Amino acid sequence: MVPIQIENLFFTYPSRETPTLKSINAEIASGDFLLLTGPTGCGKTTLLRTINGLIPHASSGKLAGSVRLNGKIISTQALTTTCQQVSLLFQNPEDQLFCTHVEDEIAFGLENIGLPTDKIKQQITLALDQVGLPGFESRRISELSGGEKQRIALAALCAMQPQVLLLDEPTSHLDPRATRDILNIVKQLNADIGITIILATHQVKQVAELCNRVWLMDKGQICLDLPISEAFQDTSAFHRLGVQVPEQNNFPIITSTKHATKTPNSDSLLTVRDLKYQYPNSNNLAVNGITCDITRGEIISIMGANGSGKTTLLHLIAGLLKPTSGEVTMDGKPVKRLRLHQLAGKIGIVFQNPDLLLQAKTVKDEIAFGPKNLKMKSQSLIDRVDKTVAQFNLADIVKDTPYSLSRGQRQRVAVASTFSLHPDLFLLDEPTTGQDQQHLHQMMDQLCNQILQENKTLIFATHNIELTRKYANRVLILDQGEAIFDGTPDAAFANKQLLNQASLAF
């Protein structure tokens, strides 16, 4: 029997004129493992939300057509019924975990459907076994790593024993090892229990070998629906939409040559000496004795697993955290002795969540915010804003509100508004999160071009090997706060043992 039938599905969000989902007709057979991919904003998340009933039950908008599960229309049955058949795993574990302890988190859904306590306990044990975390019942969620949190979120869904499991970018926040763990669990659930899987992701390469069917979406429609054996025979549609394909030789990194990097000169910019940092209430050092010298014109990638200290190191360099010991000096001056506003124009940082940077009413105001604070005179300010808008191709959206833009555009605006200060050192934290290949490479191309043209320095934190290979001329690999490698990307990625140690091998 076909468990999911989608018939002539349209959905329009209240604030939009054009539908986000358009005329979708498709079927998913029981036990399928479906890869759902497409560029950012193509409607993947909206489609998943219609399949598990969040649309229309928890979201307003205009829905037409139907999604049937085992013959029953999902939009007409209560969410409490649908949740026992279809479960949805969200992108960010932090946003979906509700309780403070593992046992309570997994029990939450089971309590909601009124299961007796002895049955709940059995289900918790079983679900933790399924996600490879037996004995974690009494652990505090705040003490878990990002990968473990996502596995707990998955366990909470497995405990409900759904027929269909929907996963929305479940690994975009995770390092390669945690990604592999999650995908292996999902594969096992599909193979051993026969759960139907629909996994939406940009990480096609990792998922393609697990799935048996591929849907490619574009502008709210499924433009390709093929079994895995045929899906990548003609990759033109994937390339046109900037979506990753599994074949190594076709991946953009190879076709678009390594980004033009300049040999860094010996003009020293930043010195990091025996840097250590320990968070309050933590027993371990997040950054442990890092030493390095950074010169102008370098593009450096900081790599490592989740929790290896990448973000902490960036924050220490930016002066956002004061080191426990050691020192960061920029042009010979200790960063910790400077106030943050004194570092404006010297150091710029774009956080993993670019939305935290966006505070102005229009894109133009956002870009002008930094230069205005530095008391730039009116004509120079106008010139600077216009130049930045042109450098980052933002002319079409310059009057738009930053929050009305797509995720890729918001990140580009955040990067442009930080770059408008012309910082000597630009820090970029995990630019890949939630971005498709096309938008990511477009943004990185623009940024790296400007960095090289103006002899600035870029340090970006990532666990994406392709990104490092394409853009960086130096890589610093961290493991548990310590730098275990500092050299060229080619040397790093030739060393399998090193990649394993840093949890970077998929």
For another protein, the binding residues in 314-373 under the rule CB under 8 A are 318-320, 339-341, 343-345, 347-349, 351, 353, 355-360, 369-370, 373
Kindly state the smallest distance separating residue 472's Cβ from another protein, in Å.
23
What are the backbone dihedrals phi and psi of residue 202, each rounded to the nearest 5 degrees, phi first? -95, -15
| 289 or 334: CB nearest another protein | 334
* Residue 350 neighbours by CB under 8 Å, 6+ apart: 357, 411, 414, 415, 418, 426, 427, 428, 429, 431
- Binding residue (CB under 8 A) for another protein from 14, 71, 116, 332: 116
**Is 404 among the residues that bind another protein (CB under 8 A)?**
no
Q: How many residues are there in the chain?
A: 506
**Is 419 among the residues that bind another protein (CB under 8 A)?**
no
Rounded Cα distance, 161 and 115, in Å? 12
**Is 193 among the residues that bind another protein (CB under 8 A)?**
no
| 124 or 245: CB nearest another protein | 124
- Binding residue (CB under 8 A) for another protein from 13, 70, 104, 239: 104
* Residue 410 neighbours by CB under 8 Å, 6+ apart: 354, 355, 358, 402, 403
- Count CB-CB contacts under 10 A for residue 216: 22
Number of helical (H) and strand (E) elements in the chain, helices listed first: 21, 20
**Is 100 among the residues that bind another protein (CB under 8 A)?**
yes
**Is 280 among the residues that bind another protein (CB under 8 A)?**
yes
Question: Can you tell me whether residue 297 is helix, strand or coil?
Answer: coil
- Only one of the segments 87-95, 291-299, 377-385, 496-504 lies at the binding site for another protein (rule: CB under 8 A); that segment is 87-95
Rounded Cα distance, 431 and 435, in Å? 8
**Is 9 among the residues that bind another protein (CB under 8 A)?**
no
Amino acid at 288: N
Q: Are 85 and 73 spatial neighbours (Cβ–Cβ below 8 Å)?
A: no
The pair of three-digit structure tokens given for residue 468, joined into one six-digit string: 């490092």
- Binding residue (CB under 8 A) for another protein from 83, 128, 182, 303: 83
- Our measurement of the distance from residue 83's CA atom to the centroid of its chain's CA atoms, rounded to an integer in Å, reads 26
Kindly state the smallest distance separating residue 335's Cβ from another protein, in Å.
11
Kindly state the smallest distance separating residue 161's Cβ from another protein, in Å.
12
**Is 417 among the residues that bind another protein (CB under 8 A)?**
yes
| 1 or 78: CB nearest another protein | 78
- Binding residue (CB under 8 A) for another protein from 90, 215, 419, 460: 90
**Is 111 among the residues that bind another protein (CB under 8 A)?**
yes
| 356 or 494: CB nearest another protein | 356
**Is 264 among the residues that bind another protein (CB under 8 A)?**
no
| Alpha carbon distance, N-terminus to C-terminus of the chain | 35
From residue 376 to residue 395, the character string flagging contacts with another protein as x (rule: CB under 8 A) and all else as - is --------------------
Residues 46-65 that bind another protein (CB under 8 A): 49, 52-54, 57-58
| 237 or 338: CB nearest another protein | 338
Nearest to 241 by CA among 391, 408, 90: 408
Question: Can you tell me whether residue 187 is helix, strand or coil?
Answer: helix
Q: Any alpha helices (H) in 274-331, and if so which ranges?
A: 310-317
**Is 418 among the residues that bind another protein (CB under 8 A)?**
yes
Please give the size of the binding site for another protein, defined by CB under 8 A.
Answer: 71
Q: Are 216 and 241 spatial neighbours (Cβ–Cβ below 8 Å)?
A: yes
Rounded Cα distance, 337 and 334, in Å? 6
Residues 24-43 that bind another protein (CB under 8 A): none
For 70-163, strand residue ranges (E) read: 72-73, 86-89
426 forms bridges with which residues in the sheet?
A: 348, 458
| 252 or 334: CB nearest another protein | 334
| 96 or 324: CB nearest another protein | 96
- Binding residue (CB under 8 A) for another protein from 94, 129, 230, 454: 94
| 94 or 209: CB nearest another protein | 94
| 310 or 474: CB nearest another protein | 310
What are the backbone dihedrals phi and psi of residue 26, each rounded to the nearest 5 degrees, phi first? -160, 165
Residues 158-187 that bind another protein (CB under 8 A): 160
Kindly state the smallest distance separating residue 80's Cβ from another protein, in Å.
5
| 97 or 447: CB nearest another protein | 97
| 245 or 349: CB nearest another protein | 349
Q: Are 90 and 155 spatial neighbours (Cβ–Cβ below 8 Å)?
A: no
Q: How is residue 115 annotated by DSSP?
A: -
| 256 or 373: CB nearest another protein | 373
Residues 117-146 that bind another protein (CB under 8 A): 117, 120-121
The pair of three-digit structure tokens given for residue 436, joined into one six-digit string: 């498709």
Sheet holding 299-304, edge to edge: 347-350, 425-429, 457-462, 299-304, 474-479, 482-487
